[in-house]
Structures are given as structure tokens and as C-alpha cells.
Amino acid sequence: MNRGIVAAVAAYTLWGLLPIFWKALQAVPSLEILCHRTVWSLVFVLLLLLARRQWAWLRQARRNPKILLIFLGTTCLLGVNWFTYIWAVNSGHVVDSSLGYFINPLISVLLGVLFLRERLRPWQGVAIAIAAAGVLLLTLGHGAFPWIALTLALTFAFYGLLRKIAPLGSLEGLSLETALLSLPALGYLLYLQWAGTASFGQVGAATSMLLALSGVATALPLLMFAYAARRVTLATVGVLQYIAPTLQFLLGVFVYGEPFGQARLLGFVAIWTALLIYSFEGLVVERRQRASALSTG
């Protein structure tokens, strides 16, 4: 099997199983988890950079204020996304968080049209319209606006948009983002230690170990995805990316027993229908492009 596909499946599977990891830290406040996730992610990526001796990008970042400005934006989006996801999982909203990552690809397509002047193909437009109808069904049927799902989808879609125009690679970009986010995060963790309310080193060895491993749990699937993205077609990645929210959804309903009534089912069915249209259309377009390239070559 293609190594890129293996890496992609592994990355999305790890992302899909992350709720189990965050649930194990449920006794720790979400903000404290976020700060540990940030700081330990920075430690992990710095060790990788040290092993690779990959420091040339630092000079580029220092000399170009535009790079720092772009990554200040991605850092804020990443911080909001990470905090919302951790809070949602540990507050009994795993299903809502899975919805966010189901609709994220469709929002990314829409942002590409609005900001990058990409053309919206007819069936992509149909998929976005059906997904919007699904969100409306969820709002009306569930009696509440799906803010968790939309916050996760919008922050990650805008994050992807900014990373698309950012000049740094995945590892270098993650290093800069975690470095920027670690400044307030480390300050907050030191304050908790000083105040005697910190979880790390005081709640238990298992909790402290999990907090330290949050960096690996964050960076490892990102690096696997970066490896896969260079070796797998965009259409294949587009299909495989639904592994993560599917696993999250199954965990939320069948493991954590979150409510999933008829109103929610109708909204999810509409969004799943939109994703099927979107994925099938992408595969068809890619096959046509391949056939065209072979015929002209």
C-alpha cells in the first residue's frame, strides 16, 4: 500500500481517537490542558528541529514582518480551535465537535471562492447548499445554534486558508505557532504552580504524564498528515479526512452516550449527503484531469 495513504489513515485515526485522550484529562480545567498542549508541543517540535538541524527559517521569519503577522493570525485561530475542542469533548459535546470537522471541508471550499478567487464547480455549490440546510435543520430541530461545530469549522477553515499562503513548511509553521502561543501559556502555568492550583505534579503521576504527552498527541498526527499530503492526491485526502469526525461521532454516540435524536439525525443526514456529493465530485474531476493529462502527454 502507498506509504502516503498509510500515513494519512494513521493521522486521521489518531485525530479521531483524541476524545479518549482528552476525556482521560477531564479532571483538569480545559484552559490548563490547552496551555500544557501548547508548551509540550513546542518542546516536541523543537526536538525534531534540533535533530534535523532545521533552523534556516528563523532568519526568514525575523526579516519578514509579514510572516510573523500571518502566523500571529494562525496562532490565534489555532488557540481558539484547540480550546473549543478540548472544552467540547470534556463537556459532553463530542458529537457537536465531530459535526464541525464534517462541515469543515465545505467551508474551506467556500473560503477558497471568496478569498482566493477559486471557481466553485456546480456540484460543489449543491453540496454547500445542502450542508447549509443541514445546519439550519440542526438549529431548528435541536433548539440551539450549533456554535461549537461552527466555531471549530470556521477557525480550522480560516487557519487552513492562512497556512495556504504562509511561506513556512508544516513543521516550521507549527514551531512558530506553538512558540507564540507558549508565551502566555507558560506564564499561566507558572502562575498556577505559584498559586498551588496546578494539576501537573500535584494531581497524580498518570495525569502529569498525560499532560506531558499532549505535545506528542498534537504534533505526531500533524507530521503524519504533512508526510501524506506530499504523496497522496488531493481527492484521496478529501475522502480519507472523514475518518476523524466519523470516529469522533461513533465515540460520542456509542461510547459516551451523548443524545442523538431524530432532529439531530435529519441534520446529520443532510450534511453526510453533502459530503458524499462533494467527495464523489472531487474524485470524478481528478480522474478527468488525469485522463486529460495522459491524452495530451
**What's the mean pLDDT in 253-266?**
88
Q: What is the largest CA-CA distance in the chain?
A: 69
Q: C-alpha 181: how far from its chain's center?
A: 16
> Does the pLDDT of residue 211 top 70, yes or no?
yes
Grid coordinates representing 214? 499532549
- Average pLDDT value over all residues in the chain: 88
Spell out the domain ranges in the chain.
Answer: 3-296
- Write the burial class of residue 208 (CB in 10 Å: 0-12 exposed, 13-18 middle, 19+ buried): middle
Q: How crowded is the C-beta side of 141, counted as CA atoms within 13 Å?
A: 16
Within 10 Å of residue 161's Cβ, how many Cβ atoms?
20
The rounded distance, in Å, linking the Cα atoms of 252 and 239 is 21
pLDDT tens across 58-70, in order?
A: 888 888 888 899 9
> Does the pLDDT of residue 235 top 70, yes or no?
no
> Does the pLDDT of residue 1 top 60, yes or no?
no
Within 10 Å of residue 173's Cβ, how many Cβ atoms?
24
**What's the mean pLDDT in 267-273?**
90
Sequence-ordered alpha helix ranges (H) in the chain? 3-23, 30-52, 56-63, 65-90, 94-115, 122-142, 147-165, 170-195, 205-229, 234-240, 243-250, 262-296
pLDDT tens across 116-144, in order?
A: 787 888 888 888 899 888 888 888 776 67
Residue whose C-alpha cell reads 504523496 in the numeric block: 231
Q: How confident is the model at residue 145 (pLDDT cuts 50, 70, 90)?
A: confident
> Does the pLDDT of residue 296 top 70, yes or no?
no
Predicted local confidence at residue 183, as pLDDT: 93
Residue whose C-alpha cell reads 538541524 in the numeric block: 53
**What's the mean pLDDT in 43-49?**
91
Predicted local confidence at residue 135, as pLDDT: 86
Within 10 Å of residue 255's Cβ, how many Cβ atoms?
12
The rounded distance, in Å, linking the Cα atoms of 19 and 134 is 24
Within 10 Å of residue 141's Cβ, how many Cβ atoms?
15
Predicted local confidence at residue 233, as pLDDT: 67
Least Cα distance to 229 among 1, 56, 12 occurs for: 12
Predicted local confidence at residue 106, as pLDDT: 84
**What's the mean pLDDT in 152-156?**
93
